[in-house]
Amino acid sequence: MDHSSFSGAPRFLTRPKAFVVSVGKDATLSCQIVGNPTPQVSWEKDLQQVEAGTRFRLAQDGDLYRLTILDLALGDSGQYVCRARNAIGEAFAAVGLQVDAEAACAEQAPHFLLRPTSIRVREGAEATFRCRVRGSPPMSVSWDKDGRRLGALQAPRVRVEASGEASALRILAAQPRDSGTYTVHAENPLGAASAAAGLLVDTEADTAGQPGASTAMLLAHLQLRREAMRTEGAPASPPRASTRTCTVTEGKHARLSCFVMGVPKPEIVWKKDGQLVAEGRRHVVYEDAQENFVLKILFCKQSDCGLYTCTASNLVGQTYSSVLVVVREPMVPFRKRLQDLEVPEKASATFQCEVPLPPMESAWYKEETRLWANAKYLIEEAGAERRLTVLNVTSDDDAVYICETAEGSRTVAELAVRGNLLRKLPRKTAGRVGDTAMFCVELAKPDGPIHWLWNQQEVVAGGRVAVTAEGTCHTLTISQCSLDDAGEVAFVAGDCRTSTQFCVSAPRRPPLHAPEAPVVKARTESSVTLGWSPPPHGDRPVAIDGYLVEKKRMGTHPWSRCHEDKWVATPELTVAGVAEEGEFQFRVSAVNRFGQSPYLEFPGTVHLAPQLAVKTPLKAVEAVEGGEVTFSVDLTTASAGEWFLDGQALKASSVYVIHCDGTRHTLTIRLVPVSLHGAELKFVANGIESSIRMEVRAAPGLTTKCPAAAVAAREVLAWLHEEAQLLAELSDQAAAVTWLKDGHALSPGPKYEVQASAGQRALLVRDVKQEDAGLYECVSHGDRIAYQLLVQESSAVFIKGQPAHKEVQAVVGASTTLSCEVAQAQTEVTWYKNRKKLNSSSKVRVEAKGCTQRLVVQQVDKADAGEYSCEARGQKVSFHLDVTEPKVVFAKEQPARSEVQAVAGASATLSCEVAQAQTEVTWYKDGKKLSSSSKVRVEATGRGRRLVVQQAGKADAGEYSCEAGGQSVSFHLDVTEPKVVFAKEQPARSEVQAVAGASATLSCEVAQAQTEVTWYKDGKKLSSSSKVRVEATGRGRRLVVQQAGKADAGEYSCEAGGQSVSFHLDVTEPKVVFAKEQPARSEVQAVAGASATLSCEVAQAQTEVTWYKDGKKLSSSSKVRVEATGRGRRLVVQQAGKADAGEYSCEAGGQSVSFHLDVTEPKVVFAKEQPARSEVQAVAGASATLSCEVAQAQTEVTWYKDGKKLSSSSKVRVEATGRGRRLVVQQAGKADAGEYSCEAGGQSVSFHLDVTGQSWRRILS
């Protein structure tokens, strides 16, 4: 990897890892360090310099530095420090090494120290594969060939030898059929590893691979191969059984990855067709969070086709992984592709291509940025030809350009700009808070004037910023980078310009250190001002958002926050207004979005007393004339006070009742006069006060909106056959009213309805007719309001061009709109459903725009189907709404909206299930489309769809949706600060291995014994059942999966309080597949025409097996029947013939049991003169005899009824006399009727027994 972009003080890309190693072993500590200038690296042990010698070896390979300790002794245990220095700064990394005298290794999954390599030998020679694998607990190591496990069947030519970490597979007298791929598997409870190598046996192989080669020669050969990794023209790939293929469409990105394990950590090199792949504009090499080594090819072109090889090497050995990249043309290819260009600065560059069809729309991009025609870019079209001209080219125009059609087809080309700049700024530069960033530019020849710009402003050297020049090399250095330094950094020399986007990221971790230097700056009887200094930076600064200050009164337990805001921004706070007098302790903690630091306690205590102030001020209360009203005020401490009304002090009397109860003061005014309306009421105590303006309402009476209503009748216009409403407003909400028409009282009924609400009374006149016109009055307490009701004939309400009835179709879950047009825009309409009036709500929305009236039914369901109408003045337009089920996109058993809780810093998973596995979905956040990135990961497994938000923060909270086919499932993600739920000493994720048929236990520990947890599998909640058992003992929580099967494998999590511990359960087939008590091979004899049964027994009842005949897989059919009962497995060959003879095998988990079936012609068992089937009649209650004759007197037969074997009993008697064979059924009944057979030697004679009722005869006297 080219780390030339990393500049400044030394920086560790990888750090040494801790070891637990046994005495006598070797240990290698390694780290990867970059810096500019190149740093000087030294190693220390327990603060003492480590010098190279017979047991200590120092090595450097590029930016990789190693310390190897040979023949470890107990004294080698301790702390080792790797220290790197250069002219700009210094960095170090520490690691612990523990040497164990009892050779106890740290538990770890198997990993290969030496992998087997492919070999080629002559026929008859010996072939040996060797490997070294390490792991703890002890591992089981096995070998297989082309997927078939090697065992006793291949002995004695094939031998597996093991000695400690070493394992070897030795093949004696190799034959051509031994050629193939051999794989070694190592497995222990923590995991598994495998490695493969090829064997080629022919008559032309040379003797270079003699098995007697010494170990020293082998290691020397491996070292030479490692040194040749970076050699140009090296072989693209070693001989392998198969090569993966990555197919990508032209213009898209390709991501190649390989996962390599090894100790020491291997170095990775990518090659294409044997040539090194250098990082550049379109090639990015990095290691992702899952420790995969990734090569990303951006904007793929046809020239990217080829064989890419990931070569990994360390001091022990090397390995390869290859992938064939195929760049295919788009579905609709361009007639003519773009061509790469190289132009000098200030010139113009013109890209040309031809789209498939002239009318096609196209767009131009500079990498990910859409280009539009302007003074910089000239975009032209002529028929199918498309042209982009970049005018006045500068170094910043050096990039990848894409032409993309509306159908998604792309063609790609690169623009190289020749100019005075030999080394340009990268397009993007990333750094962390506290790092030193260096920007370097090199000119071909001096040019001026020279400027560095930051966000279009010239950079001035000084403070954290340094500008240097050495010949034609120019450098800008920014020390102690902060988030505010992010922006565009540009270099300008004369007419040359190059720029980079500088990004600064803060570590995603809480403050590690507490604030410092606590001090009490000022204090009074009721307040104290505290001050402190920010926490120390350490080797990598952490951003501080603010501080949390807490207090505690001596003698009490809980700490309480001293400020109303979430935190205070400055390192100073004045604390006042305590509720009780006492001695107080204080402490402060630094906080950011990822957590908080340890607390810093202020030394000693501070005595504080409450300060007199208004705790709850006066509140305005509306009083009624002649009534009673009470006012109250609360103080922080007990104090005497006075009440004032319009400046006059009030004395306690029968009218003013004054009361004081500790810190609470109350005033009650009786017989309130209306003259007090607007008067100022004030409470004063020891210099503090609270005041309000009084509100007094007149005694109850009837009022109206318009004073003239009491004098003249108000005219109300109503349309014929519609509804009229007369409305009156009252000052007394409880007053009773009477409605009159033409002086006669009206009674409520179908015609008239009286409605009452707060301060209002309404009379509704339904189905207005001409005779309803007249004078109406509302009377209350002698006051009255008059209304003159006028009735008019209806005119045309709706325009004539629209139908009176409409059919509307809607899909469940979607919105639907019913619309019509009225003749006059001011016409008010009413909507009805099944004759019930509708009003705007969360379900329906009534809209009017001009003459158009609409009713929008939102999220339609089956209950919304029916008859709707829009009515006005006795006329209407009707609609019939039919609601149908949508195409099923999402599974029905999930809610349409889910609330998801996540803890800051943890991952949040939003999951749903589609109805069809091939359905493609799109995820959105707050309406913006999401794609897989370092922040979010989109997953699809079977019918499950998941969006994983990694390291969720407050900014990730919001509305998410998963959409497909016009339907959606929505989620609300809420991100909260984490509480400590689970014990800190356990990992957040664990790998659990289980064997099929056995129980698997997932366990974790909570911080509090009373914490209730919930278990999930693949996002679905689990409860105790016959399959899983949930257990809780003390702080331990366990999920026991009983009789685990393949279906039980997957992702499990234990969740509580928004936090979770996750587990990955892997279920493997047990090593023992077949029961040990059966032979590996059996001979089976069968008679032609009879059935032949091949049977074996597996170790686990749930094991699935496959049957083969002469290497071909068998399935149940009319010829063969596959049966499984408990642990028994059977293959029944029906009506066996000569063609069915041969080799059969039952296979499972790489193991097999074989059978040889021999089919012979049948011998004559029964005498030829008897029929093969007979009908036998018997009378109920009597005995029935079935008889036949065998050819040989000594032949033993077996009797069956309806396929079930019979033996002599009180019901049936089996007899044999000479060659005669009989079955006597005694006292035959209806239940004895049926099919009987006598069988021997694969042959049979059958009988049908029919039992009839007993006959009666009449006896005459």
The position carrying tokens 């591992």 is 139
Angle among Cα 1019, 1023, 1028 to the nearest 5 degrees reads 95
| Distance from C-alpha of 1067 to C-alpha of 1052, rounded to nearest angstrom | 13
- Alpha carbon 232 to its chain centroid, in Å, reads 42
pLDDT tens for each residue of 1191-1219: 888 888 999 998 889 988 988 999 999 88
Closest CA to 1019 of 933, 916, 948, 937: 948
Of 444, 448, 587, 597, whose CA–CA distance to 509 is shortest?
597
By 3-state DSSP, what share of the chain in percent is helix, strand and coil, each rounded to 5?
5, 55, 40
Please report where in the chains the tokens 């007098």 appear, as a residue.
581
Burial of 426 (0-12, 13-18, 19+ CB in 10 A): middle
From residue 532, alpha-carbon distances to 518, 523, 573, 877 in Å are 4, 15, 9, 76
The rounded distance, in Å, linking the Cα atoms of 550 and 588 is: 6
* Residues of the chain predicted below pLDDT 50: 1, 4-6, 103-105, 205-223, 225-226, 232-242, 702-711, 1255-1261
| Nearest CA-CA partner of 808 in 737, 729, 869, 758 | 869
Cα maximum dimension of the chain: 150
- Residue 1023: alpha-carbon gap to chain centroid: 22
Tell me which H or E stretch contains 10.
strand 8-14
Evaluate whether 479 touches 463 at the Cβ level (below 8 Å). no
Give ∠ CA 325-327-333 in degrees, rounded to 5.
Answer: 170
Which tokens sit at 299?
């904007």
Where do the domains of the chain lie, and which CATH numbers do they carry?
8-100 (2.60.40.10), 108-213 (2.60.40.10), 219-328 (2.60.40.10), 337-418 (2.60.40.10), 421-505 (2.60.40.10), 516-608 (2.60.40.10), 614-697 (2.60.40.10), 702-792 (2.60.40.10), 805-884 (2.60.40.10), 897-976 (2.60.40.10), 989-1068 (2.60.40.10), 1081-1160 (2.60.40.10), 1173-1252 (2.60.40.10)
Q: Please state, in angstroms and rounded to a whole number, the distance separating the CA atoms of residues 377 and 968.
A: 41
Inter-residue contact 1017 to 1052 (CB < 8 Å): yes
pTM for the full predicted model: 0.32
What backbone phi and psi angles, to 5 degrees, belong to 1196?
Answer: -100, 135
Check: CB of residue 627 under 8 Å from CB of residue 597: no
Distances (CA, A) of 524 to 560, 604, 815: 21, 16, 65
In sequence order, what DSSP letters do the residues of 1169-1186 get, joined into one string? Answer: TS-SEEEEEEETTS-EEE
| pLDDT tens digits, one per residue of 641-658 | 888 988 888 888 878 888
- Annotate 358-372 with b (16+ C-beta within 10 A) or e (fewer): eebebebbbeeeebe
DSSP notation for 141-206: EEEEETTEEP-GGGTTTEEEEEETTEEEEEESS--GGG-EEEEEEEEETTEEEEEEEEEEEESS--
What does the alpha-carbon distance between residue 762 and residue 740 come to, in Å, rounded to a whole number? 13
- Rounded CA gap, 453 and 447, in Å? 17
Long-range CB contact pairs, 501-505, < 8 A, 24+: 501/427, 501/428, 501/429, 502/429, 502/431, 502/437, 502/439, 503/428, 503/429, 503/430, 503/431, 504/430, 504/431, 504/432, 504/433, 505/430, 505/431, 505/432, 505/433
List Cα–Cα distances, 435 to 8, 13, 89, 605, 1049, in angstroms: 8, 13, 10, 40, 44
pLDDT of residue 407: 85
Alpha-carbon span 888 to 314, nearest angstrom: 54
Contact 1210, 1204 (CB under 8 A): no
Residue 135: which of 117, 116, 112 has the closest Cα?
A: 112
Q: What is the pLDDT of residue 700?
A: 58
Cα separation, 106 vs 121, whole angstroms? 40
What pLDDT is recorded for position 985? 77
